[in-house]
Chains A and B, each alone.
Chain A
Amino acid sequence: MSSRPGGAMNVFNRNMKRKQKTWAATLPDSEKYDYLRDEVGSRVADRIYDIARTFPLALDMGCGKSHIAEHLSKDVVEQMFLTDISDASLRMERQSEMPTHCMMADEEFLPFQENTFDLVVSSLSLHWINDLPGALRQVHRVLKPDGVFVGAMVGGETLYELRCSLQLAELEREGGFAPHISPYTAVTDLGNLLGQAGFNMLTVDVDEIQVHYPGMFEIMSDLQGMGESNCAWNRKPMLHRDTILAAAAIYKEMYGSEDGFVPATFDILFMIGWKPHESQAKPAKRGSATVSFADLAKIRSQTSINTDKSDTS
């Protein structure tokens, strides 16, 4: 293991995650589990379309089966690099309009030259990274000045139903609980992380996606099929049958709807950050204002006079 500067935590077993993703991609029906990635990928693409610009060179970090590129057109992105930690999903890359280059790369060790990309995107892969501040700094490094990073990751209160059910069931049956759902980044921290990495003009927002399942077991098998199984170092290797049945019952009782379905909530954090450049809008220099705040009251009375006039006319 290489040393991690900045005192970053080592929470996740990245080798394990890679094995899980490779295993999930080689499933014969792996397409079946892509619904969440497809949805989030299209939402990320939507945010890219909002930026009125053509990006000559883009990078997708943790592309999976390239869930973003398939939604993008040639007029927006002219050339794209796709990276993922599992080669099995890269081989299943979907058709897209622009030319793409695949390579295996770890998000924590980006193998790209400084100031290379006009756009970096990432969808649902940053939540398994140990050193998120470091990874964001690397993204900042590979971006050209005035380049933009558009990312989506799960965070916040994702899967709180499953977390609560498992904790309650384990407490009841085994007298203590182990973490089964990984720790997530809070929305409030994300802005600070992006700011520390050197991005400016930040946008962070949360989309709540709720998926309805027949029961807890379907949620767990689907998460496994997505390659999203737990890979924390301190995870518990087994879950007793007794506990898991109790958890399923608690899940249904606490969160189940009347028609027999149980919801699973995914909080998707979207972030947009720009690498600073001279041409970007900046706050005005302190003391450069020409109007005093004390005059605000006058402006208001003026507008009220105007509206009175328009009412009478």
Chain B
Amino acid sequence: MSQNALRRIATEYCSFRTIRRFLQIPERNLSGSGGVKDAGKEAFDVSLLEFLVCPLSKKPLRYEETTNELINEELGIAYPIIDGIPNMIPQDARLIKENEGAEKPTPS
């Protein structure tokens, strides 16, 4: 009996310690790397466009800052960028409406 009680106290103490450790680590991570991550979120590295193409047509893409998307004008599809990670999966791409697509090539 006394052994059981001791063990329970020991495990509870341990779990309490691990919980404390878990709580501390995320806090530190948030304060440490938060700034860097935010910077990555906002700006997409335009120099990557040199390497990236549309996965379907293999043609170059254009970065649209206002919508934060990579756009293939020819096929009229846009690939979203979420938290600085471009999503180049064809199923997730957004079809640009026809009139919108007609407007876009004129300014460029």
Chain A residues in the interface with B (C-beta under 8 A): 2, 15, 57, 81, 83, 85, 87, 90-91, 101-106, 109-114, 116
Contacts and interface: CB of A to CB of B under 8 A. Distances in A.
B89 A104 contact: yes
Interface of B: 45, 48, 50-56, 58, 60, 82-92
Contacts, number: 57
Given A2-B56, A109-B56, A114-B58, A104 B51 contact: no
B85 A90 contact: yes
A101 B48 contact: yes
Contacts of A103: 52, 85-88
Contacts of B48: 101
29 contacts: A2-B90, A57-B51, A81-B51, A83-B88, A85-B89, A87-B85, A90-B85, A91-B83, A91-B85, A101-B48, A102-B85, A103-B85, A103-B88, A104-B89, A105-B55, A105-B89, A106-B55, A106-B88, A106-B89, A109-B88, A109-B89, A111-B52, A111-B53, A111-B88, A112-B51, A113-B51, A113-B60, A114-B58, A116-B51
B53 A112 contact: yes
Contacts of A106: 55, 88-90
Contacts of A116: 51
A103 B55 CA distance: 12
B86 A113 contact: no
A32 to B, nearest CB: 15
B47 to A, nearest CB: 10
B88 A113 contact: no
B95 to A, nearest CB: 14
Given A87-B85, A103-B85, A104-B85, A110 B91 contact: no
A110 B84 CA distance: 18
B58 A105 contact: no
Given A87-B82, A114-B58, A104 B88 contact: yes
A54 B16 CA distance: 48
List 3 tightest A-B contacts by C-beta distance, closest first: A109-B55, A111-B88, A111-B55
Given A87-B85, A87-B87, A110-B55, 5 more contacts: A90-B85, A101-B48, A103-B85, A104-B85, A114-B58
